[in-house]
Every structure is written in C-alpha cells, then in structure tokens.
Amino acid sequence: MPTRKRNSPAASRLIFGDLWEYDPAPETADPKLKERYDLFIDGRFVRPRSGRYFPSINPANERKLSNIALAGPADVDQAYRAAARAFPKWGALAGRERGKYLFRIARLLQDRAREFAVAETLDGGKPIKESRDFDIPMAAAHFFYHAGWADKLEYVAPGRRVSPLGVVGQVIPWNFPLLMLAWKLAPALAMGNCVVLKPAETTSITALKLAEILQDAELPPGVVNFVTGAGETGALVMGHPGAAKVAFTGSTEVGKAIMRQLAGTNKKMTMELGGKAANIIFDDAPIDQAVEGIVNAIFFNQGHVCCAGSRLLVQESVADRVVAKLKNRIRVLRVGDPLDKNTDLGAINSRAQLSTIRRLVASGVREGAVMYQAPCALPERGFYFPPTLFTGVTQSHRIAREEIFGPVLSILTFRTVDEAIEKANNTAYGLSAGVWTDKGSRILRMSTELKAGVVWANTFNRFDPSSPFGGYKESGFGREGGRQGLLDYVSLS
C-alpha cells in the first residue's frame, strides 16, 4: 500500500551540500583566564614548592592557554594538613549551614555560567553548546541538589546516625572537568567532609576558576583544596595517609593501580571507571529516534564519555535500515571549532587521546571491520577525528572489547533477545546500556538482565543529580548522585 516502488530508488540520494552554509557563530563571552594558576590550598592560591608549572593548551588549535602549578609531595601534604585542620569545625557544622555554602556556590556558578562554559570549551575541546547547555548547568544542579540534602541527614539512612568520614582524596578525569568535580565535591561537602581534589592535567582551569567562586562564597579555608598535576600528583593524592576515603573517576587501568596501591589500608574507595556500553536496537524500535539516540550515545562529547554507547547491537532484520539512516544522519554532524555555537563535535581532548583513537581505529581496519567516516573537512590545526562507524564487527574484534573513548562506533548484529543479552554482557565492563523497543515488557526484562549500572530505555546519556550512577564489574563500584551516592561519603552508626 504505502511504499510501492515507482521510480528507480537507486538514483535517490540526499544532497547535504553547501547551498545554505551556516556562517561562523563563535561564542564571544570572556573566559577570564589567568596567565598562571597556582594551587588552591587552605583557601588561598599558593605557588608550588617546586616552583614548577606546566602548560595547559587549547586542543582546538594547540595554543597555550595558561600555566598550571605542578604539585609535588610537599604540596599535597600541605593540602591534606589544611583539610585536616578544617575538618573538625566543618564536620560539626549544622547541616543547614553547610547547605548555605553549597547553595551559594551553585548560584555563583550560574551567575558566571557563560564565562565557565567558554573556559571549559577552550580547555577541553568540547562544543560550546554542550558546555553551555549540559556541563555547567548540570554542575550547578549537582550543587543545588546536594545543598538540599545537607540539612536532611537523618533521612539519608533512616534509623541510623550518619557522620562524615574526614578528609577525602578525589581524582577526576578530563572529559567533564567541572561536572565531575561537582559530582565529587557536592556530596562530600554536603555530608561534612573536607576535600583534596586533583583535576586532570589537561583540564585544570575550570576547577581553579571554581576556587575563585569558593573564595567568593566564603567557604572556610581548607575545606576544599585543589592540587594540580599529572599522574604522579594523582598517586600522591590517592596514597596520602591523611585520606579517610578516596574517590576516583578515570580509566580502569589507573583504577586498578590505585586499588593495588591502597590494598591493606583501611581507606574507603569508590571507583568510576571505563565502559563499553551496548546500545541495543530491536526491530520494533522507533528507528529515527533510535538513530538519534545512537548519535547521542556515541558522539556526545566526541565520545569522551565513560558510559558512551560504543557498541551498537542491532537486530538483524533492521540492521541495514538502521545503518543506512545512521550514515545519512552523521553526514550532517558539524565537526570543527568547539567555540562555534553550531559545532556538534569539537576537538579531541589531547594529542595522546587522538593517537589512542587512531591506533584502535587502525586495529579495526586491520582486523577486517568495514569503516565508514562522515565526509567532513577537519581544521588543519588541533586534534580532530571524524565521526566513524564500523560494520561487520564481531565480539572478538579489539574495537568491540576495548574502550576507545572517541567518536567511533562498533556495530554488531543479533537475532534473538537472548543473543542480545549475551553479547551485551560479554564485556569486562558494566557501566551503562541502552534498549530501544516499543515493547514495555521487553524493557523491563532487559533492565534486569543487563549487567550495567544504568540502563536507558528509548533514550541515552540522560543524567540527573537525583539518579545514582556507577558501574558493575570492571566499570567500578560505589554510586554517585541520589541518596545512594551520599552513602559513600558517610559512616553509619
């Protein structure tokens, strides 16, 4: 009836050309960057003992943005001592008083949202529309949410007494610099802990800008301390004897190293590590919206997302249609200057990450998977990678097993529901999964059988401060967000 063939469809092609090219639309707010960022210890900006600084560059054009202090053992120790000094008073402060500080931080962040969005985009390479519409508002939302918990401690674990742990050491990744900081800081502070936090070395700037907000909010000195540097500094933060608990978000490899380092100590730990999420499309799914979901799942933040839907499992009967639609969809993704408001995919965060992506993509080609890349002109300078699809991928391809952390999607097919579950769970990771179907009962079954911390149904990459987030298996343990996330920052008695 509706789709009878008349002309030759072979000639039908969509033209996504330059008839109406969008003019550049750069965001022009001033990020107010300093030439040099010192450590933030005991409520003040202090120079590192070593006097050493390292550059932070803009991955979009490889130009230097600022110099960041390199923290050594003495600096980390100083930070821990400041936190320990601040803890007795902060931990004993009435929850409603602590809540006021968190509300203040959230509001000050909202006030300076555009400035922070531009800084985040310059430092990390993500598109301005994401830092403006997602990272910064969501970071503020986490402070607001946890501000609300601060005076409701008796409801965190009804019938039991909750008390803060003490000083918490936190190390966060470069993919959502300010948001991950908010995920870590807000619950720790709401529950009465003090913090020593190390941002990732390629993306320290928004943390240090937030330190300015902490000063403006008159947060007592020492409650929050930021030490900057690379892996060695991170190991010092995680390994310091003054930490009652450590929280880490980053790669599974580093997470394992931290756990080895801390084995035998009585530190509490939470780990939010890698992922290789299955995004499962059943034949009754609303295909166009599923395609949009696939795009959100893998190309959001250039695929630098631990819960990215990097393995697409499509039911065989609709696989050709889904792949054809997906190819057309990624032809209109705009890759380029992250500060342009129309950019969909910005820059890869660092040269090192770009070479990791290239290496894994080369392995996919070498192992016989079929690659499709959207035809798009990439800027000459800076770190960029086009949206990439691999079809003909099997479970044993490296690109189906290892986390690529880039805009690269591996597409596999399945026939039955059981096969989908089997394939989805056949991974060392278990952070997230997506299910696309019109059938409610199937969603319920999948959500029970998929071994993943988050299962999204007919959507992907949706977050909310009230919803706990965390992994199964080698994706880590502990939860962030919601009431469950608070439990990792208190001791119960």
Partner 1 sequence: MSPRNSTAAHARLLDEVGAVDQVGVEERVAKYTTRSIKKEAKSWGLKTAVSMTDLTTLEGKDTPGKIESLCRKALRPYDGPSVPTVAAVCVYPSMVRYARAGVGSSGVKVASVATAFPSGQTHLRTRLAEVRGAVADGADEVDMVINRGAFLSGEFSRVEDEISEVVEACGPAALKVILEVSELETFDNIRKASFLAMGVLRPGDFIKTSTGKTTLNATLANNQVMIEAIRDFYLDTGVPIGMKPAGGIKTAKQSLQFLIAVKETLGDAWLTKKRYRFGASSLLNDLLRQLEKERTGAYQAPYYFSDASESY
Nearest-angstrom CA–CA distance, 294 and 84: 46
Alpha helices in 93-250 (DSSP H): 95-111, 113-124, 128-130, 136-150, 177-190, 205-216, 231-239
Residue 294 CA to residue 315 CA, distance in Å, equals: 14
Q: Helix or strand or coil: residue 344? A: coil
Catalytic residue among 115, 130, 272, 474: 272
Q: Which two tokens stand for residue 73?
A: 């053992």
Tell me if 21 contacts partner 1 by CB under 8 A: yes
Q: Which is nearer to partner 1, 17 or 264 (CB)?
A: 17
Give the dihedral sign, CA 481/484/485/486: positive
Q: Which stretch binds partner 1 (CB under 8 A): 162-170, 291-299, 365-373, 392-400?
A: 291-299
Q: Is 377 in the site for partner 1 (CB under 8 A)?
A: no
**Residue 272 annotated among the catalytic residues of the structure:** yes
- Which tokens belong to 432? 């997230």
Counting contacts by CB under 8 A, is residue 223 touching partner 1?
A: no
Contact with partner 1 (CB under 8 A) among 197, 281, 285, 400: 285
Rounded-to-integer distance, Cα 364 and Cα 373, Å: 13
> Token pair 């530190």 is at which residue?
267
Write down the catalytic residue from 194, 306, 402, 403. 306
Establish if 370 lies at the interface with partner 1 (CB under 8 A). Answer: no
Q: How far is the CB of 414 from partner 1 (least distance, A)?
A: 19
Q: Tell me whether residue 325 or residue 483 sits nearer to partner 1 (CB atom).
A: 325
Q: Could you tell me the smallest distance in angstroms from the CB atom of residue 321 to partner 1? A: 9
Which CB, 461 or 475, lies closer to partner 1? 461
Q: What is the C-alpha to C-alpha distance for residues 109 and 210, in angstroms, rounded to an integer?
A: 8
**Which residue stretches of 429-478 are H helix?**
440-449
* Closest to partner 1 by CB, 396 or 441: 441
Rounded to whole angstroms, how far apart are CA atoms 417 and 419? 5
**Which residues ranging from 440 to 469 are in contact with partner 1 (CB under 8 A)?**
458-459
C-beta neighbour count of 394 within 10 angstroms: 14
Binding residue for partner 1 (CB under 8 A) from 163, 342, 484, 491?
Answer: 342
Q: Which of 9, 158, 375, 440 binds partner 1 (CB under 8 A)?
A: 9
Give the residue with the Cβ less far from partner 1, 4 or 260: 4
The count of other CB atoms within 10 Å of the CB of residue 334 is 15
Q: Which stretch binds partner 1 (CB under 8 A): 77-85, 216-224, 243-251, 286-294?
A: 286-294
According to CB under 8 A, which residues from 121 to 150 bind partner 1?
129, 133
Compute the distance between CA of residue 318 and CA of residue 299 in angstroms, rounded to an integer: 22
Question: Interface with partner 1 includes 2 (CB under 8 A)?
Answer: yes
What are the helix (H) ranges across 125-176? 128-130, 136-150
CA dist 487 and 493 (Å) reads 12
Supply the minimum distance, in Å, between the C-beta of residue 459 and partner 1: 7
- Would you count residue 20 as binding partner 1 (CB under 8 A)? yes
Among 212, 284, 367, 449, binds partner 1 (CB under 8 A): 284
- Collapse the DSSP code of 357 into the 3-class scheme (helix H, G, I; strand E, B; otherwise coil) and give the result: helix
User: Does the active-site annotation cover 306?
Assistant: yes
Q: Pick from 82, 223, 254, 290 the residue near partner 1 by CB under 8 A.
A: 290
Catalytic residues: 272, 306
Residues of the shown chain interacting with partner 1 in the complex, contacts defined by CB under 8 A: 1-12, 14-25, 129, 133, 284-290, 292-293, 296, 324, 332, 341-342, 438, 458-459
